Amino acid sequence: MKKIILLASTVITLFAFTTLTNWKSDKAHSQMGFSITHLGISEVNGSFKNFDVNITSSKDDFSDAVVEATADIASINTGIEMRDKHLAGPDFFNAEKNPRLTFKSTSITPAGKNNYKLAGNLNLNGVTKPVTLDLWYRGTIENPMSKAPTSGFQVTGTIKRSDFNLGAGFPAPMLSDEVKIKADGEFAKQ
């Protein structure tokens, strides 16, 4: 019984001194994008219109942040409606069967001033793989309109579409296996 009381007291003490803060993406000032090389000579860019990103952290420098992101695959946007429908279809993302992209971080490691390596599990097309992305913390200010603390981040990295069974019928000379990821966002303290 004493062990249970001691354990409960320790947990309560830890929570009393640790305040987790939630940060929600400001969708009007955020984007989740990607690019891929077509025919080895040009870049095709795209994004997801419907996405949500949340950050939880107890430290002001976000060195203990947990990042969770989701995106609706059917909201894919490359500027060409026919291509968007093809990408959302069974040849690529198969949005009907796998309607959401998800990412949940597992660790964040310092990589220079305001820079981190963000590791986590990415789920695309029903396949979950560990990935490591570069995260740049751009700072925190008081938003002049809302007066809320607002932080800025940029995430970049490269994944292989073959790791997620995306577009297996389209060889690398047609579409590069490497897909660049770039997401920018403003996050309001909740």
pLDDT digits (tens, 9 = 90+) for 147-157: 999 999 999 99
Q: What is the overall mean pLDDT for the chain? A: 91
Q: What is the mean pLDDT of residues 51-65?
A: 93
Q: Output b/e per residue, 19-28; b: 16+ Cβ within 10 A.
A: eebebebbee
CATH 2.40.128.110 fits 20-189, yes or no: yes
pLDDT score recorded for residue 60: 86
pLDDT score recorded for residue 97: 97
Mark residue 175 as left, alpha or beta (left: phi above 0; alpha: psi -120 to 50; beta: remaining): beta
pLDDT score recorded for residue 18: 52
**Which two three-digit tokens encode residue 170?**
């389209």
